[in-house]
Amino acid sequence: MKDNFDAIISRNTLFWLLITNVAVLSPLYEQATLWSIGICAICFVWRIGIYLGKVAAPPKFLVTSLAIGAAITLALVSTEIGLLKALINLLILGYALKYIEMREQRDVKAIVLVGYFLIALTLLDQQGMLNTLHLLVVVIINTGILVSVYQDKSNKLANLSFSVKLVLHSLPLAILLFVVFPRLGPLWMVPNMKSATTGLSDEMSFGDINKLTRSAELAFRVGFDNPDGSTTGPANQDLYWRTLVMENYDGKTWRQDPSIKDLQRQAFFQKPQRDRPIASAQNKIEYVVISEPSHQKWLYGLDEAFSENSQIVELPDYTLYSLRPIDQRISYRVTSYPNNVMELTLKDNTKKLNLALPANSNPKTHALAKKFTQDYPEPQARINAMMNYFAEQAYYYTLSPPTVGEQQIDDFLFDNRAGFCAHYASALVFMARSSGLPARMVTGYQGGEYNPQAGYYSVYQYMAHAWTEVWLEGKGWQRFDPTAMIAPQRILDGFDATFDSQSSYLQDSPFSPLRMKQYPWLNELRQQLSSLDYYWSVWVLGFDEERKQQVLSKLLGDVTSSKIALMMILSFIVIALIIGYYAGLFNIDNTEDPLNKRYNLICQRLAKKGVPRPQGQTPSDYAKTVEAKLQQHPAIATKFMALSDEFMALKYQPLSAEQTQQHMKQFMRLYRLLRLRLLRS
C-alpha cells in the first residue's frame, strides 16, 4: 500500500515535529541511558529523511520489534538504573518510536499529548528558574505542532507567534490558581532513582570532609527574618549549621548511633518530639532554609533548631530530619534557640555511649588525656586546657594532611601534627572521653557567603566542617571547635580567609561562577543573578501556606472564603475579557480589510498634500494623478505607483500562497516607506 503520509500531515507540521522532538527530549538527557539516546537519534535521523523525501516511513513490524527489544532490555537493567529511571526511559523510547511511525493526524495529537506529559515529568525534577524558563519554551514549541495542524500556514513564524499568544493567555489563570489554590501534599511516593548523593555522609573518616573542600556546589541558602526587618544573621563564628551527630567510633570511622537510625526509620509512622523552649523574641532566630538536592534526608539548622514543617522531624540529637529524600530543591522554615541548654540531664545509656572507646586504641593519646585529668580535675578547666593544647603546640591546619596508620589519632597528634577539621575534632573527642568527659562528633557546615543584593547567605559544600560537643554537668552539651585554636581566621572570616580557592574548591571547577569573586563587577553580577534564583526559590518553590496567607492578607485584608471566592470570580471575568479582546470578539465595527485600511491611510496623507482621490477612481488612475501632481516629489510618486501595483495584484490577481507572501512583503515595505516619507515632507 502506498504511503500517503505527506498527503495527510502537512510539511509545516512535519517541520514542527522535528523541532519538538529535540526540544521535548533534551531536558531528559541526564535520565536517558546511552542506548536510549542512540535509538532516539536513529528515529530522529530517519524522520529527517522522511521530511526531505529520501526515505519512506519504516514498516510497522520493525517499529514493533524495536519496542519489544527496548522493553525487554529495560526490564533487565531496571535494578541497575532504578525503577523510576527505567520508567522514564520506557516513556522516552515510546515517544521516539511513536514519532517515527506516525502517519495520520491522530498520531500527531498523541505525540503532542505525550510531549506535554514528558514536560510535566521533567518539571518534577527540574524546578530551577532557568530550567522552568527552558521548559516554558519547550511548551511553546510543542504547542506549535497543534497550531500547525489547525492553522496550516507556510509561514512558520506565524505558527510560533500564535503558540506564544496561547501560552501567554494561559499565564494569568495559572498565576491565579497558583496563588489561591490550597497547597496539597504529594498523593504518592515517587520511586527513588539511583542518583549519586552529595554533601555529608552519615559516616566520617579522616579524609571525608576534606573531599568536600574540592566542591564548589551550593549546599543550601538561608534568609533570616529579623524582628527589625534586617536580613543579616549571626556573626560568621556563630554560623554552625548542625547536620549530623556521630557517637560511635571504631578507631577509624565515626558513625551515627543505631538508636538514632532506628528513630529515622520509624519517623514516617511515629514522629519523635523535642520540647520547644519558651524564649523571648530576642532569644530566638527565625530563618528560611532552601536546600539543594542531596538525595539524603538530613537537613540543616543552627542550635537548637525546630521546624513546623510536617515533613520534618526533630531528632533527640538536636538535628533536623526529612521524611522524604531531598531529591529536588526544597524550602523550610526554622526557629533556633541559641541560648537553650541541650540535654541538661544525661541518661546513663547516652553517657555510656559517649564515653566508649575502642580497646587498645591510641595509647599515647589515652596517656595524654590521663595527664590532663590529673592536672585539671574540674571538667570545664580540663576541656579548656585541651583546647589550649592545640594552640600551644606546633600544629598546622592543612587541606592535604599526611597519611596516618592504624593508630590514627596517635599518628596525627604526636607525629604528623598537621590535619583538617576532622582530625582535630576526632582528637578532642578521644581525649575528652579518655579523661571521663562524655563527648561526640558533630558534622555540618560553618559560615556562609552573604549576598547583600537580596539579603541571604549561601553555604557551599567546601564549607563542610566537623566540631566537638562535650557534656558538662549543669551546662549540657557544649560546642568546642579546636579548628578555632589552630586556624582562627577559618572560623572568624570563613574558608576563603585561610585557603586559596584556586587550590581548593575551584581546582576541579573551571567554569564555576565563584571564580568571579576576584573581579568586583563580575562578582556583583554573579550575586545579582543568584538573587533572581533566590527570589524564585522563596516565592515560587517555597510558596507554602504561610506565604500564601501573607500575599492574600495584603490583597484582601481579613482573609475569608467568601473574599477568596469573589476574587477568583472577578479574576476569571477579567481574564476572559482580556482573552476575548485579543481574540477579536469585541472588534464588531472593525470590519475593514487590513490591506484596504493601509492603502486608504496613504491616500488620506496624499490628500493632505493636495492630491485627493475622487470617489470611484481606480487605484491605477489615481496613481497617475499623483505622478502628475507631485512632480516636485518624484520619489513619493514612484513609490506610490509601485504600491498601487502591489495593491492591485493582491486584490484582483489569482496568486499562489508563495506569490501572495512575496507581494505582501513588498507592499508592506513600500507602505512603511511612504508613511514615513509623507510624515516628513
**Catalytic, out of 465, 496, 603, 663:** 465
151 closest CA partner among 166, 138, 139, 136 = 166
Rounded to whole angstroms, how far apart are CA atoms 278 and 283?
9
* DSSP per-residue string spanning 230-267: ----S-GGG-EEEEEEE-EE-SS-EE--HHHHHHHHHT
Contact 504, 213 (CB under 8 A): yes
Helix (H, G, I), strand (E, B) or coil at 218: strand
Asked if residue 304 has a cis previous peptide bond (ω within 30° of 0), the answer is yes
For residues 564 and 597, give the distance between their C-alpha atoms in angstroms, rounded to a whole number. Answer: 46
Q: Which of 202, 421, 423, 603 is catalytic?
A: 421
Choosing from 423, 481, 496, 663, the catalytic residue is 481
DSSP state string for 40-51: HHHHHHHHHHHH
Q: In whole angstroms, what is the distance from residue 54 CA to residue 33 CA?
A: 29
Q: Quickly list DSSP for 380-423.
A: HHHHHHHHHHHHHS--EE-SSPPP--SSHHHIIIIII-EE-HHH
- Give the CA-trace dihedral at 384, 459, 452, 549, to 10 degrees: -110
Strand partners, 469: 440, 479
Q: Are strands 240-246 and 449-451 parallel, antiparallel or unpaired?
A: unpaired
295 belongs to the catalytic site: no
CB atoms within 10 A of CB 293: 17
Specify whether 633 is catalytic: no
Rounded CA separation 320/244 (Å)? 9
Q: Is 40 a catalytic residue?
A: no
Residues tagged active-site: 421, 465, 481
